[in-house]
Amino acid sequence: MSLLSIVLPSYNEEAMLPRTIRTLKQVMEEAGISFELVFVDDGSRDASWQLIMDAASEDSRIHGVHFSRNFGKEAAIFAGLSAASGDCAAVMDCDLQHPPETLVQMYHLWEQGYEVIEGEKRSRGKESIAHRASAGAFYRIMTKATGIDMSRASDFKLLDRKAVDALLEISEHNSFFRAQSSWIGFRTTSVEFDVQEREAGESKWSTRALIRYAVCNIVGYSSVPMQLVTTAGFIFLVLSFILGIQTLIRYASGHAVEGFTTVILLLLIIGSILMISLGIIGYYISRIFQEVQGRPKYIISKRV
């Protein structure tokens, strides 16, 4: 019989862990699926790791990996996938916002021969308007950058062993699970689900973390921002031709002292465009720097 590994990144989830374990066990047993739970404790500072250890000592199907500090959800997903031993592996949030019933549905699709089964959000659940708007903008840019429709993408996915191994071979330091799972190809399908409300605890994403996440992933998948710099350069080259000719004509006709405002404006505009351009290029250089350093994605301190 085939084994399903369920990878659950968890960061300060003491409020949800016992409930999640209970629900998942119940749903999987009812569906008659043999499974293992792989919890990745992303450096939690609450009782999460203790709860995972207790659960693991009671039930041999529960495994846990503990990070030495908070490395982020992406790193946790990859650590979980590399610790998973199943014939297929699913990734889901451990706050039950991804419905376990959908997981059963995904498993049946896997049995039918699909190798990558993506969870797509039918509705986004409860969110603030600002969060919804910024998430919308981020996904529009990412859709353009990756060429994959990401507006309803989520981290809720089920992957065949082949796909898991392919993903683990990508050695990129800044991984982006949502995009990489479609980038690898394979026989893909998707399942729609409704994002459930979080029953306890709170979202672990601060606005700052989300912005950092967005910039990092855009830089990782698209060089359009760098090409914008070139475009701006060309526009200014054309403008400088026009202004240059105008200046020469004024010089020839003896009106050379005027136009000081133009000089100031040009200095300001060119100065700020140069700064922004340098900043954009800086992002890519820092990205290259990180990849060259080749630091590990995460460091594991304990396992059960």
Cα(260)–Cα(250) distance, integer angstroms: 13
Rg of the chain taking only CA atoms, in angstroms: 25
Tokens encoding 206: 């601060």
Site string for ligand UDP, 173-212 (x = CB under 6 A): ------------------------------xxx-------
Work out what residue 11 binds among Mg ion, ligand UDP, none; the CB cut-off runs from 5 to 8 Å by kind: ligand UDP
How far apart are CB 89 and ligand UDP at their closest, in Å? 16
The reply to whether 299 sits near ligand UDP by the rule CB under 6 A is no
The reply to whether 26 sits near ligand UDP by the rule CB under 6 A is no
Q: Are 6 and 77 in contact (CB under 8 A)?
A: no
Q: Which stretch binds Mg ion (CB under 5 A): 10-18, 96-104, 131-139, 280-288?
A: 96-104
Cα(226)–Cα(302) distance, integer angstroms: 41
Cα(177)–Cα(155) distance, integer angstroms: 7
Cα(35)–Cα(248) distance, integer angstroms: 78
In terms of CB distance, is 76 or 88 closer to Mg ion?
76
Site string for ligand UDP, 80-99 (x = CB under 6 A): -------------xxx-x--
Cα(225)–Cα(230) distance, integer angstroms: 9
Cα(146)–Cα(144) distance, integer angstroms: 6
Pairing state of beta strands 88-91 and 3-10? parallel
The reply to whether 97 sits near Mg ion by the rule CB under 5 A is yes
How far apart are CB 72 and ligand UDP at their closest, in Å? 5
Contact positions vs ligand UDP (CB under 6 A):
9-11, 13, 42, 70, 72-73, 76, 93-95, 97, 203-205
Applying CB under 5 A, the residues found at the interface with Mg ion are 93, 95, 97
